[in-house]
Chain A
Amino acid sequence: MINWGAFGVFALLFAIVTVLGFLGPYWRRGDLDLLHEWALGGRRFGTLVTWFLIGGDLYTAYTFIAVPALVYGQGANGFFTLPYTAIAYPIAFVFAPRFWTIAKNRGYITFADFARERYDSRALSLAVAISGIMASMLYIALQLIGIQVVIAAMGFVGKGLAADLPVIVAFVLLAAYTYRGGLRAPALVAIVKDALIYITVIAAVIIIPMKLGGFAHILNVAGHVLESRPKPAHLILPPQAFSAYVTLALGSALALFMYPHSITGVLSAANANVVRRNMALLPAYSVLLAFMATFGYMAIAAGVKPASPNDVVPQLFLRMFPSWFAGVGFAAIAIGALVPAAIMSIAAANLFTRNIYREYFNPACSPQQEANNAKLVSLIVKLGALLFVLRLPIEYSIGFQLLAAGWILQTFPTLIIGLYTRWFHRRALLIGWLVGMIVATVLPAAHAFTSVVPLHVGSLTVPIFAALLSLVVNLVVTVLATWLLDAARVARGEDKTQARDYVAGVS
């Protein structure tokens, strides 16, 4: 049965956002036939717009669904998101302004552009592009799943075209206004998205505990329920879960600002200080996320019994809110999927256009051809993700985020360490990347796509975040290979960047 009350509000908010999306090209007008205008909004966004954009970009619909689901299922383990977001911004505060500066000075649109010039290696640049495109595709698929989950919660269930139609319509509209307006479209939509998310979460944190008898009571009930499950979970993190908790937090934090969509957001800022300032201001969203994590406990205390973990939040909203406000919450999640999906498709399109199309197929392309190619690829990327999600059972989605983190972390030695030192040999970085990619894929696959895998050290078994483990393997291989290649006097290539490109303020 379709919940018309919720769907009416949802459809109205969705329509407003669509209009805004199509107004994108008229906002802060620029020549959209140039890639940096289409893809980076002309690198002109100030502190506030950048805050909305990056916030709307990083905190995706899937985050809002997956984090409470994890807490619902595993209790305290799911709260690793708190240390994760607390350390992600200090990390980005250090390297993101540096990357912004070199990118501005040398005209980079992607991280792979940097790898190309820094290491004088097309192969390394291609490797970075491949990791980025693959991770972005999975992330776009996750956003679609977020939309599917809330649409299903409003009663659009079943198989066939009728059930899938709302998702298809949403995505076709998104593809159309992103094609036209580039990054300006999601930047505008992000303002609405963030307002809706703040309204929903603040309302939920006030109303739901009032209905359920207070936060302390919710935690108490949740604690008892978790302990009495066949596979008990805990309210306070037990010692055997420490290693998983810490490595999940650290690995996710290192990966956060390396995703192509994060980089695209960072590069759209008007100057390095806008980036720095935002690293102190963006944690406002982390506070929001911390509140959202408690939704998992609220769902337990409210007696929500979801069919799948993804349904925890939608079912909680339906039970606790009047249907019109559940519609606002669902719109917040679905619109929350559109902003990142748009930016991810732009980021993947940039990587393909700059580092594959221009590098290998059409080196002499005009700026206009370059921009047109990126627009086209952004469409193809979204279409691909749509087909992928419509064909694939939703249960596989849990593995996506894990794989994406593992793949993107393999570019850490080349990109983040590469911003500071050129000690690694370019071929060593490539070998390390390849080994890391294999480990990051095979290891989770061998453990039924759980994020944490057991590491055996002597007689001890330590559970570790697979993505971080694969980065450690990558780093060890890269160091060893650097020694060998240097000993064999293999050419290191020419560094086209200069020390002053990283610091000089050309603004």
Chain B
Amino acid sequence: MRKNLAAMRQPLGRNSAAKRWYWLLLLPFVCMLWPPLYTRVDPAIAGIPFFYWYQFCWVILSALVTGVVYWLTRD
């Protein structure tokens, strides 16, 4: 029975189940479109204020998130 359900879900349901991962894409929006999260000097790394390295890291992180979502939803 259980096996049957899984088999049924494979062809039809996979796409919509995988679509859930798209919600991950909201992460960069939340973390970057709310400046109070990062408009600070400390903690600084090698004298570079948080404001700069945080956003720089998110440029890379958002690419990683997009890559992960691609990998989880690819056909």
**A contact set with B: CB distance below 8 Å:** 76, 79, 82-83, 85-87, 89-90, 93-94, 214-217, 219-220, 235-239, 242, 245-246, 249-250, 273, 276-277, 279-281, 283-284, 286-287, 290, 505
Q: Which residues of B contact A217 (CB under 8 A)?
A: 47
Interface centre among A86, A89, A93, A286 (most CB of B within 10 A): A86
- Chain A contact surface mostly: helix
- In the complex, A344→B57 CA distance in Å? 31
Checking B35, B65, B66, B69 against A245 with a beta-carbon cut-off of 8 angstroms, the contacting residue is B35
Quick one: which of B41-56 are within 8 Å of A by CB? 41, 46-49, 51-52, 55-56
Q: Can you list 28 A-B contacts with CB-CB less than 8 angstroms, sorted by A residue number?
A: A76-B39, A82-B59, A83-B33, A86-B28, A90-B25, A93-B70, A94-B22, A94-B25, A214-B47, A215-B46, A215-B47, A219-B48, A219-B49, A219-B52, A235-B49, A236-B40, A236-B41, A237-B35, A238-B39, A239-B39, A246-B33, A246-B35, A276-B74, A279-B66, A283-B60, A283-B62, A286-B59, A505-B75
Judge if B13 is at the interface, Cβ distance under 8 Å.
no
Task: Let me know if A86 and B51 touch, CB within 8 A.
Answer: no
List 19 extra interface pairs beyond A82-B58, A236-B51, CB under 8 A.
A79-B52, A82-B32, A86-B55, A215-B47, A216-B47, A219-B52, A236-B40, A236-B41, A236-B49, A238-B39, A242-B35, A246-B33, A280-B63, A281-B63, A284-B63, A287-B59, A290-B55, A290-B56, A505-B75
Interface centre among B35, B40, B49 (most CB of A within 10 A): B35
Task: Let me know if B58 and A237 touch, CB within 8 A.
Answer: no
Chain A nearest Cβ from B46, distance in angstroms: 6
Nearest residue, chain A, Cβ from B22: A94
Checking A85, A94, A219, A273 against B59 with a beta-carbon cut-off of 8 angstroms, the contacting residue is A85
Q: Which residues of B contact A237 (CB under 8 A)?
A: 35, 39, 51
- In the complex, A76→B52 CA distance in Å? 9
Q: Which residues of B contact A238 (CB under 8 A)?
A: 39
Task: Let me know if B51 and A76 touch, CB within 8 A.
Answer: yes
Q: Which residues of B contact A219 (CB under 8 A)?
A: 47-49, 52
Instruction: Known contacts A79-B55, A279-B70; decide if A87 and B60 are in contact (CB<8 Å).
Output: no
Judge if B36 is at the interface, Cβ distance under 8 Å.
yes
- In the complex, A76→B51 CA distance in Å? 9
Q: Which residues of B contact A94 (CB under 8 A)?
A: 22, 25
Chain B nearest Cβ from A218, distance in angstroms: 10
Q: Which interface class (under 10, 10 to 19, 20 to 34, 35 or more) fits B?
A: 20 to 34
Chain B nearest Cβ from A85, distance in angstroms: 6
Checking A215, A276, A284 against B70 with a beta-carbon cut-off of 8 angstroms, the contacting residue is A276
- In the complex, A277→B46 CA distance in Å? 34
Q: Which residues of A contact B40 (CB under 8 A)?
A: 236
Nearest residue, chain A, Cβ from B65: A90
Q: Which residues of A contact B64 (CB under 8 A)?
A: 280
Chain A nearest Cβ from B51, distance in angstroms: 5
Instruction: Known contacts A87-B62, A236-B49; decide if A250 and B70 are in contact (CB<8 Å).
Output: no
Checking B49, B52, B59 against A86 with a beta-carbon cut-off of 8 angstroms, the contacting residue is B59
Nearest residue, chain B, Cβ from A223: B49
Instruction: Known contacts A82-B55, A290-B56, A290-B59; decide if A87 and B46 are in contact (CB<8 Å).
Output: no
Instruction: Known contacts A93-B70, A94-B25; decide if A86 and B62 are in contact (CB<8 Å).
Output: yes
- In the complex, A29→B4 CA distance in Å? 49
Q: Which residues of B contact A286 (CB under 8 A)?
A: 59, 63
Task: Let me know if A273 and B74 touch, CB within 8 A.
Answer: yes
Task: Let me know if A82 and B56 touch, CB within 8 A.
Answer: yes
Q: Which residues of B contact A89 (CB under 8 A)?
A: 62-63, 66
Instruction: Known contacts A94-B22, A215-B47, A245-B35; decide if A280 and B59 are in contact (CB<8 Å).
Output: no
10 closest A-B pairs by CB: A216-B47, A283-B63, A280-B67, A83-B32, A90-B25, A86-B62, A82-B55, A280-B66, A237-B39, A242-B35
